[in-house]
């Protein structure tokens, strides 16, 4: 046995842990008649479902791999039983041509309840201590229970048990800031008002919102709210977690991920769907007459359990919902996960299920569950129209001092909109502003919707008051810098004491939602410097009625603005701390005051005037607005395909980027709550999904006979396909929803497909009526021809002549996709054969994809298609220490005392594995270690039955078994990767590694001269250096991983000049060069005795200091 394996096996510290959630509550019973007559195609679906169920019942009971090898700790599980749930009983009845009566429904519920009671009795007989948490009867015959982990296997021996799943935890992840399209813009953008004008506003349509609850006291929602259930508190009051509840709870206000105890997500979603007209800000839902039923499945901090989510799905079907909205999901891209299967059954029972894809994009396979459900309508996040504002900013320079601004050219007449990236007098060679608008400055990306605790990957985009950092703000294309503009002699009467004027064309980063910045900034204001915008930077100075000049860095933009607002400032100008413009937009929000952005170079020019003692005043004029067109994909939107099935997901996309909707004011606890400004912006697929749910309510009102699959097909057929040179079928599915085209289409273009996935441990194949074509995966040895059937159904007696066109957007040499008819006359129904021909020898890992287009001369219906080639179906799917959207390089987290915290190492495999060795690779010493190959030790090594497509997690505390010393050692500061080598059940060896990360426990070391002399008429200069890990890491990242890392940009360097009495004479920032050296000139300081305090702070929050006297 090798030394590597011996060292690893001897280490008792390294163990795998599957993270399972805690306890929950049980729903009450509810029985409602379900009435839906299936089409012939749906009947075929049901037959195959029932046949598959019989196969499943004949098979051995199934247990999810994540439940294997558990210890004696309490564990929550969901147990599926064999008797038919109501949805399946309904299917059998309709197949036989009988209506599904309330008596039959009651009988089905009774049979389910009796089996569940028998199961619970068996637990008692077998002396399995348990607590029943939830019961399900409609989309699932199941029971959620809590038992000891080492007793889970005994459940498989109880009669009637079909499968056992872990009850995973869900939680809403932190959000990020975006630019500002919002619902009152996106409703017209998708065409909802035109549908309202036709008489359809969703009147009486029941929409179930399965989320964090609802503030039903909100004026926009009081009439919409009709009831619901709280699975967190197990009562009939699904109110959001409130501020008062937090104050009484004794719990922290924010958890480790930054989520607040009190929630707002469900209220925001409900408002997007069905807000009534109220308030001053034009908030009206997509279906403003629909009825909202709230199912609270996520509690404080936005966290909940799979069992609660299942309860919400099950009860919503029982309550007779027409459509259900799930703006949530976990990180498991699994069409076979129990919530994904539950949504399949909801769709088949006649309830249209709409679910968010997730916010873990932009990479492939980032889809979550239940978004991976084959039959549910999965929604991605696109952008709507957004407003950009620029203004001429006039700086009036006072008489004191001799400093003058560099001479610049007069501002020319601007014909083009400068905020589109075209500088005056230059050729527009920039990229589209939309390219910039959707490129997030950092990943956090994304509400999240909801993530499974064992992998915090699905992040939702945050509103401004939740502490997002400046890097979470939306990056935008900088406006034309008339920073190259004007300096002229003063000619205006309004410029007191001014002798020169400089005009810059600046972008507004943000402004108040309640006040137009042009109506606010009407005067000439004194400009006052406020350093980095910290609270201390405003102390001892009067900023009332003034404009604060602050530098970017250290604090989030929103914190700088909040501090300036608290100090009484009317506006803020933020200048960059690195060369060039900032290029970030925060949009509008109630908490903001007008904030403009400025380049580093220009900001330093203005600051130099203030440092020289000049009086500087500022005024604003010539505000210009431009609206970007939208229809870009937000990078945070999770992409497909679905794992295993390789289905195209999302199915459709909708605006979800910074949507303004309702939020709670918690009037239930606070009778005097003010709802005047109870609105906020949120971004994510959570916000896109209710746009689709609202549109579906309009469709159901117009077409009550449409099945959920008809609705899905109509949405997909009539989507607006976004720019295919930027966004492929796994980005956008069938495109962005269009209400007017979908409300009354001339035809359905249905793909009569088959989907295959695992249900309760057995592979089932089901007919799936959808709007996209998945040809599956082809290997290089394949020579195949596969044909899919498209059925065109005329609606409302329409027909006519159609042409058919194949529009490939990605091709593979030798592969062709063809339709058997280039044109046809529609008379009722028409079938088309869409055939792909694949030659042998396609060796590339690639895809053929595009759209089938059918046109009747007036409307064009589209069907996306894809074929995969040589998709890797064996090996290590991934190993990761951090989700892929984090900044490079990631820093190993530290505890408050500066010691190493726990880091989760997650992995998943395409095929079963029997052994895994996880090692630490030293990126700064690639020829080091005992074996001289860079590997210094291991953190896990053992034989273990790893299942395919199951996520495993290792809670690593930063220790490793050292190959050289055979001792367990804490990992030192450095650059590392975690690498895995596995042996598959097939006997083959597979390898994979993580992205590089930093271990950094040591602060930067600052060296500076001990003495400094201030001379008359001379600027003192401090020359020094900074020693830090960053400077050693940069070349290693470049050579080993082709990652550009600028250590100087990652260090925040500040200085403070203090008088002998400790008061501050001057402060600011200085630049550390890439080699670690710095030169800090101190200008405008009189001869005297001072202490200069230098501080350099790294991204880990560690600071090094030095003093010069």
Other Cβ atoms within 10 Å of 402 Cβ, number: 7
Q: For domain 386-416+477-627, which CATH number applies: 3.40.50.2300, 1.10.20.60, 3.30.230.10, 3.50.30.30?
A: 3.50.30.30
* Bond from prior residue into 575 cis (ω within 30 degrees of 0): no
Quick check: 11 pLDDT over 60? no
Predicted local distance difference test score (pLDDT) of residue 763: 55
Number of H helices, E strands in the chain: 20, 56
Higher pLDDT, 969 or 47: 969
Quick check: 429 pLDDT over 50? no
- Which segment of 48-62, 75-89, 91-105, 982-996 scores lowest on mean pLDDT? 48-62
Q: What is the mean pLDDT of residues 260-289?
A: 95
User: How does pLDDT run across 385-406, given as a tens digit for each residue?
Assistant: 888 899 999 999 875 433 344 4
Taken in order 479, 483, 486, 489, the sign of the CA dihedral is positive
DSSP 917-978: EEEEEETT-TT-TTTTSSEEEEEEEEEEEEPTT--EEEEE-SEEEETTT-SEEEPPSEEEEE
Predicted local distance difference test score (pLDDT) of residue 944: 74
Q: For residue 717, what is the enclosing H or E element?
A: helix 708-717
| Whole-angstrom Cα Rg for the chain | 31
Binned at pLDDT 50, 70 and 90, residue 91 comes out as low
Q: What is the mean pLDDT of residues 789-793?
A: 96
- Which segment of 418-432, 550-564, 729-743, 923-937 scores lowest on mean pLDDT? 418-432
Predicted local distance difference test score (pLDDT) of residue 796: 87
Higher pLDDT, 943 or 46: 943
User: How does pLDDT run across 465-517, given as a tens digit for each residue?
Assistant: 333 333 334 444 433 333 333 333 233 334 334 347 789 999 999 999 888 99
Angstrom distance (rounded) from CA 925 to CA 1033: 11
Residue 234: both structure tokens together: 């197990």
Higher pLDDT, 214 or 1016: 214
Q: Structural domain boundaries of the chain? A: 3-16+873-999, 40-167, 386-416+477-627, 772-868, 1005-1108
Supply φ then ψ for residue 1099, to 5 degrees: -70, -15
Q: At what angle do helices 708-717 and 338-348 cross, to 10 degrees?
A: 100
DSSP 152-194: GGGGGGSTTEEEEEE--EEEEPP--------HHHHHHHHTHHH
Angstrom distance (rounded) from CA 767 to CA 363: 29
Angstrom distance (rounded) from CA 44 to CA 27: 33
User: How does pLDDT run across 985-1020, given as a tens digit for each residue?
Assistant: 766 778 888 889 999 999 999 999 887 776 666 678
Quick check: 420 pLDDT over 50? no
Quick check: 464 pLDDT over 60? no
User: How does pLDDT run across 537-596, given as a tens digit for each residue?
Assistant: 999 999 999 999 999 988 888 889 999 999 999 999 999 998 888 877 788 888 899 999
Quick check: 171 pLDDT over 50? yes
Predicted local distance difference test score (pLDDT) of residue 1016: 63
Average pLDDT, the chain: 82
Angstrom distance (rounded) from CA 66 to CA 44: 34
User: How does pLDDT run across 931-967, given as a tens digit for each residue?
Assistant: 888 999 888 887 677 887 778 888 899 999 888 888 8
Predicted local distance difference test score (pLDDT) of residue 984: 77
Higher pLDDT, 445 or 136: 136
Predicted local distance difference test score (pLDDT) of residue 2: 39
Predicted local distance difference test score (pLDDT) of residue 591: 86
Angstrom distance (rounded) from CA 688 to CA 393: 37
User: How does pLDDT run across 1018-1060, given as a tens digit for each residue?
Assistant: 678 899 999 999 999 999 998 888 788 889 889 999 999 998 8
Quick check: 319 pLDDT over 60? yes
Residue 924: both structure tokens together: 């700064």
Among candidates 901, 905, 902, 909, which has minimal Cα distance to 882?
905
Binned at pLDDT 50, 70 and 90, residue 56 comes out as low
* Percentage of residues of the chain with pLDDT beyond 70: 80
Predicted local distance difference test score (pLDDT) of residue 454: 28
User: How does pLDDT run across 806-854, given as a tens digit for each residue?
Assistant: 999 999 999 999 999 999 999 999 999 999 999 999 988 899 999 999 9
- Which residues sit opposite 79 in a β-bridge? 143, 164
Q: At what angle do helices 102-125 and 86-95 cross, to 10 degrees?
A: 140
Q: What is the mean pLDDT of residues 787-815?
A: 95
Predicted local distance difference test score (pLDDT) of residue 497: 40
Predicted local distance difference test score (pLDDT) of residue 887: 54
Angstrom distance (rounded) from CA 367 to CA 301: 23
Angstrom distance (rounded) from CA 139 to CA 339: 10
Name 375's Cβ contacts closer than 8 Å, sequence gap at least 6. Answer: 343, 344, 347, 348, 353, 708, 709, 712, 755, 768, 770
Among candidates 1096, 1097, 1094, which has minimal Cα distance to 1082?
1094
User: How does pLDDT run across 753-762, given as a tens digit for each residue?
Assistant: 766 655 544 5
CA distance readout (Å), 626 to 14, 385, 421, 433: 57, 10, 11, 11
Angstrom distance (rounded) from CA 280 to CA 397: 40
* Bond from prior residue into 370 cis (ω within 30 degrees of 0): yes
Residue 1024 DSSP SS3: strand
Residue 13 DSSP SS3: coil
Name 536's Cβ contacts closer than 8 Å, sequence gap at least 6. Answer: none
Name 748's Cβ contacts closer than 8 Å, sequence gap at least 6. Answer: 710, 713, 714, 717, 791, 792, 793, 795
Other Cβ atoms within 10 Å of 233 Cβ, number: 15
Q: Which CATH architecture has domain 772-868?
A: Sandwich (2.60)
Domain 40-167 in this protein, CATH class: alpha beta
Residue 557: both structure tokens together: 């933009």
DSSP single-letter state for residue 669: T
User: How does pLDDT run across 861-883, given as a tens digit for each residue?
Assistant: 999 999 999 886 567 777 888 65
Other Cβ atoms within 10 Å of 829 Cβ, number: 12
Quick check: 53 pLDDT over 70? no
What CATH topology corresponds to 3-16+873-999? Immunoglobulin-like (2.60.40)
Q: Do domains 40-167 and 386-416+477-627 have the same CATH topology?
A: no
Model confidence pTM above 0.85: no
CA distance readout (Å), 824 to 235, 437, 604, 741, 973: 57, 43, 68, 22, 69
Q: For residue 794, what is the enclosing H or E element?
A: strand 784-794
Quick check: 777 pLDDT over 80? yes
Asked if residues 1056 and 1067 have their Cβ atoms less than 8 Å apart, the reply is yes
Q: At what angle do helices 86-95 and 306-318 cross, to 10 degrees?
A: 40
Binned at pLDDT 50, 70 and 90, residue 745 comes out as very high
Asked if residues 377 and 346 have their Cβ atoms less than 8 Å apart, the reply is no
CATH placement of domain 1005-1108:
2.60.40.10
Angstrom distance (rounded) from CA 373 to CA 644: 12
Taken in order 561, 565, 569, 570, the sign of the CA dihedral is positive
- Which segment of 12-16, 37-41, 401-405 scores lowest on mean pLDDT? 12-16
Quick check: 411 pLDDT over 50? no
CA distance readout (Å), 13 to 160, 578, 930, 958: 40, 44, 21, 10
């Amino acid at each position: 046995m090798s030394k590597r394996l011996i060292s690893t096996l001897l280490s008792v510290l390294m163990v795998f842990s599957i993270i399972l959630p805690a306890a929950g509550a049980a729903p009450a019973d509810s029985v409602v008649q379900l009435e839906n007559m299936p089409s012939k195609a749906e009947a075929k679906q049901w037959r195959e479902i029932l046949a598959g169920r019989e196969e499943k019942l004949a098979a051995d009971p199934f247990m999810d791999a994540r439940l294997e090898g558990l210890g004696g700790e309490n564990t929550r599980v969901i147990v599926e039983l064999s008797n038919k749930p109501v949805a399946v009983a309904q299917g059998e009845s309709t197949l036989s041509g009988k209506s599904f009566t309330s008596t039959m429904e009651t009988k089905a519920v009774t049979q389910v309840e009796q089996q569940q009671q028998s199961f619970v009795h068996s637990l008692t007989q077998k002396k399995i201590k348990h607590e029943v948490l939830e019961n399900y009867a409609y989309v699932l015959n199941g029971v959620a229970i809590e038992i000891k982990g080492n007793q889970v296997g005994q459940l498989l021996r109880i009669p009637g048990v079909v499968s056992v799943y872990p009850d995973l935890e869900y939680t809403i992840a932190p959000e990020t800031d975006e630019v500002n399209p919002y619902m009152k813009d996106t409703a017209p953008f998708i065409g909802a008002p035109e549908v309202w004008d036709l008489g359809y506003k969703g009147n009486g349509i029941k929409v179930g919102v399965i989320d964090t609850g609802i503030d039903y006291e909100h004026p926009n929602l009081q009439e919409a709210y009709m009831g619901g259930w709280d699975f967190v508190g197990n009562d009939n009051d699904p109110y959001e977690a409130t501020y008062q509840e937090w104050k009484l709870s004794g719990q922290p206000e924010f958890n480790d991920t930054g989520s607040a105890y009190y929630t707002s997500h469900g209220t925001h979603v409900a408002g997007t769907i069905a807000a009534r007209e109220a308030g001053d800000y034009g908030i009206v839902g997509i279906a403003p007459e629909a009825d909202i039923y709230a199912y609270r499945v996520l509690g404080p901090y936005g966290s909940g359990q799979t069992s609660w989510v299942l309860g919400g799905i099950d009860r919503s079907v029982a309550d007779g919902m027409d459509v259900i909205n799930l703006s949530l999901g976990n990180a498991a891209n699994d069409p076979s996960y129990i919530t994904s299967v539950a949504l399949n059954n909801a769709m088949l029972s006649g309830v249209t299920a709409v679910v968010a894809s997730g916010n873990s994009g932009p990479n492939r396979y980032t889809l979550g569950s239940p978004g991976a459900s084959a039959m549910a309508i999965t929604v991605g996040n696109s952008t709507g129209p957004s407003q950009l504002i620029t203004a001429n900013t006039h700086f009036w320079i006072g008489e004191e001092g001799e400093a003058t601004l560099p001479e610049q050219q007069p501002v020319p007449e601007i014909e083009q909109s400068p905020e589109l990236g075209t500088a005056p007098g230059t050729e527009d060679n920039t990229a589209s502003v939309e390219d910039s608008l959707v490129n997030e400055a950092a990943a956090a990306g994304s509400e999240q919707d909801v993530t499974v605790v064992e992998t915090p990957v699905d992040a939702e985009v945050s509103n401004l008051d939740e502490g997002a950092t400046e890097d979470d703000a939306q990056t935008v294309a900088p406006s034309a810098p008339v920073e190259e503009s004007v300096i002229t002699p003063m000619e205006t009467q309004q410029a007191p004491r001014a002798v020169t004027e400089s005009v810059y064309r600046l972008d507004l980063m943000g402004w108040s939602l309640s006040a137009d910045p042009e109506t606010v900034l009407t005067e000439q204001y004194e400009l006052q410097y406020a350093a980095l915008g910290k609270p201390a930077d405003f102390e001892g100075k009067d900023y009332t009625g003034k404009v604060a000049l602050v530098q970017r860095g250290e604090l989030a933009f929103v914190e700088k603005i909040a501090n300036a607002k608290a100090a009484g400032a009317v506006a803020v100008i933020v200048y960059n701390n690195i060369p060039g413009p900032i290029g970030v937009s925060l949009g509008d929000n109630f908490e903001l005051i007008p904030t403009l952005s400025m380049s580093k170079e220009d900001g330093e020019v203005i600051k130099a005037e203030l440092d020289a003692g000049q009086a500087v005043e500022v005024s604003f004029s010539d505000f210009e607005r431009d609206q970007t067109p939208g229809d870009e994909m937000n990078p945070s939107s999770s992409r497909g395909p679905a794992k295993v099935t390789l289905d195209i997901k999302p199915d459709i996309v909708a605006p979800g980027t910074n949507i303004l909707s309702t939020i709670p004011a918690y009037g239930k606890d606070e009778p005097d709550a003010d709802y005047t400004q109870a609105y906020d912006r949120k971004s994510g697929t959570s916000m896109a999904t209710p746009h689709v749910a609202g549109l579906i309510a309009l469709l159901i009102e117009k077409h009550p006979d449409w099945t959920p699959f008809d609705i899905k097909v109509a949405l997909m057929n009539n989507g607006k396909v976004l720019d295919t040179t930027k966004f492929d079928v796994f980005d956008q599915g069938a495109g962005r929803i269009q209400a007017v085209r979908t409300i009354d289409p001339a035809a359905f273009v249905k793909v009569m497909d088959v989907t295959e996935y695992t249900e309760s441990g057995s592979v089932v194949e089901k007919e799936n009526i959808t709007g996209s074509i998945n040809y599956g995966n082809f290997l290089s040895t394949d020579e195949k021809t596969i044909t899919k059937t498209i059925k065109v159904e005329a609606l409302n007696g329409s027909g006519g002549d159609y042409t058919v066109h194949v529009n490939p957007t990605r091709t593979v040499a030798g592969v062709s996709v063809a339709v058997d008819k280039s044109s046809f006359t529609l008379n009722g129904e028409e079938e088309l054969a869409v055939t792909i021909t694949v030659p042998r020898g396609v060796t590339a890992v690639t895809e053929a994809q595009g759209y089938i287009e059918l046109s009747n001369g007036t409307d064009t219906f589209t069907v996306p298609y894809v074929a995969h080639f040589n998709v890797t179906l064996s090996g290590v799917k991934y190993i990761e220490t951090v989700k892929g959207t984090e900044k490079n390089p990631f820093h190993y987290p530290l505890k408050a005392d500066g010691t190493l915290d726990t880091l989760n190492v997650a992995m998943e495999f395409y095929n079963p594995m029997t052994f895994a060795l996880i090692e630490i690779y030293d990126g700064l010493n690639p020829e080091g270690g005992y074996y001289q190959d860079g590997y210094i030790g291991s953190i896990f090594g053992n034989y273990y039955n790893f299942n395919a497509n199951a996520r495993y997690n290792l809670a690593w505390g930063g220790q490793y078994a050292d190959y050289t010393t055979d001792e367990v050692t804490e990992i030192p500061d450095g650059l590392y990767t975690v690498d895995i080598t596995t042996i598959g059940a097939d006997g083959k060896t597979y390898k994979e590694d993580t992205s590089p990360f930093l271990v950094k426990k040591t602060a930067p070391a600052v060296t500076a001269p001990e003495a400094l002399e201030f001379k008359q008429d001379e600027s003192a200069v401090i020359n020094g250096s900074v020693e830090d890990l960053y400077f050693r890491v940069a070349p290693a990242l470049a050579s080993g991983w082709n990652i550009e890392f600028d250590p100087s940009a990652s260090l925040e360097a500040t200085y403070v000049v203090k008088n002998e009495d400790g008061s501050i004479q001057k402060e600011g920032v200085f630049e550390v060069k890439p080699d670690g050296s710095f030169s800090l000139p101190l200008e405008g300081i009189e001869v005297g005795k001072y202490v200069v305090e230098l501080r350099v702070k790294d991204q880990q929050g560690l600071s090094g200091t030095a003093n010069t006297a």
